Amino acid sequence: MSNAIDLELTSKRFLLYLRAEKAVSQHTLIAYQNDLKDFQKFLKKSFLDISHFRHLRLTIREYWSGLLKRNFSAATLCRRLATLRSFFNFLMRENLLETNPFNYLPSPKREKHLPKFLTEKEVDHLLTDVDHLNYRFKTRDNALLEILYSAGLRIEELTRLNVGDCDLWNGVLRVFGKGSKERVLPVGDFAMKAVKKYLEETHRPFESASGSGPLFLNARGKRLGVRGARKVLGQLIRKTSLHKNVNPHMLRHTFATHLVDRGCDLRSVQEMLGHKNLATTQIYTHTSVERLRKVYASAHPRA
């Protein structure tokens, strides 16, 4: 294990391992790749080699100290640490190192931010405004918006939907989330009617539509991508009188918050959102409590 490690080559093998065996998303792969490139630049600049373990822990501390001085957010630092811990675990798995020096670094405390969401009145206002619009892609955009709010999908999940994933008769949607994990979600009548209308308008009757065909199409008749879907939503919001910066993830937060507000149990919300851990879902209880606190403060005479 004293031989020099080709960091560039092992990084490529690591990313291939993440994609093939861990089935991580393209977004995660790009983030990991950028993190590893930054670490490689530091090593080249300092003329250091990670195969010399005697100096490795000092090297890691020097690198981490440099990151802290760059005023990154706690979320970015946590991701950087997760990337490098995973990479060094991979080096150990490949018998290139005996121990992982990043395990000795404490994880930064992440700031807790309550998710931004729309009120029920704002959602009604938004959907009513969209219903009164008249332009070429209105039917598609309305279906896209209804699905985002009705199912709480991530934008990547939305753009991966195929026609065959929509069971319009039973009101359910088959979704492939992070790590290609499949989940089946109930979807409201408004969303299903919007999808049916969109399919009929694009001459793709759902009774005979091929399951492999993309659900949402761009102007060229190809699958609508993540960037395109974000652009579509941004343009759609600007056409309405809702003066808020609304992104797809905000609609996901809105979906979850409204469910919790109306008494849905956290386990069910966790399953619908596709969260791995219940702790991730628990932030929506904080959102509801914070909202109740504001209502109490404004309404109670001795608040």
Are 280 and 202 members of one domain?
yes
Average pLDDT of the segment spanning 158-186: 89
pLDDT digits (tens, 9 = 90+) for 108-137: 776 667 788 999 999 999 999 998 999 899
Are 151 and 209 members of one domain?
yes
Q: What is the CATH number of the domain that holds 133?
A: 1.10.443.10
Catalytic site includes residue 54:
no
CB 150 within 8 A of CB 187: yes
Listed range (17-21, 49-53, 263-267) with the worst mean pLDDT: 49-53
Catalytic position from the list 19, 197, 275, 291: 275
- The residue among 53, 75, 104 that closes a domain is 104
Catalytic position from the list 32, 149, 198, 284: 284
Catalytic position from the list 140, 154, 160, 258: 154
| Percent of the chain residues topping a pLDDT of 90 | 44
Q: How far apart are CA 234 and CA 188, in angstroms?
A: 23
Are 144 and 87 members of one domain?
no
pLDDT confidence of residue 4: 64
pLDDT confidence of residue 1: 45
Largest separation between any pair of C-alpha atoms in the chain: 74
Domain annotation covers residue 114? no
Q: What is the CATH number of the domain that holds 35?
A: 1.10.150.130
Are 240 and 98 members of one domain?
no
Catalytic position from the list 85, 178, 196, 197: 178
Catalytic site includes residue 258:
no
- The residue among 78, 104, 130 that closes a domain is 104
Q: How far apart are CA 173 and CA 153, in angstroms?
A: 10
Catalytic site includes residue 178:
yes
- Structure tokens given for 169: 């008769």
Are 125 and 40 members of one domain?
no
- Structure tokens given for 138: 């209105």
Residue 277 has pLDDT above 50, yes or no: yes
Catalytic position from the list 140, 160, 252, 258: 252
Catalytic site includes residue 63:
no
Highest mean pLDDT among 46-50, 88-92, 242-246, 277-281 belongs to 88-92
Are 144 and 290 members of one domain?
yes
Catalytic site includes residue 160:
no
Q: Which domain holds residue 137?
A: 120-298
- Band of pLDDT at residue 101, cut at 50, 70 and 90: confident
Catalytic site includes residue 154:
yes
Are 132 and 215 members of one domain?
yes
Taking the complete model, does pTM exceed 0.75, yes or no? no
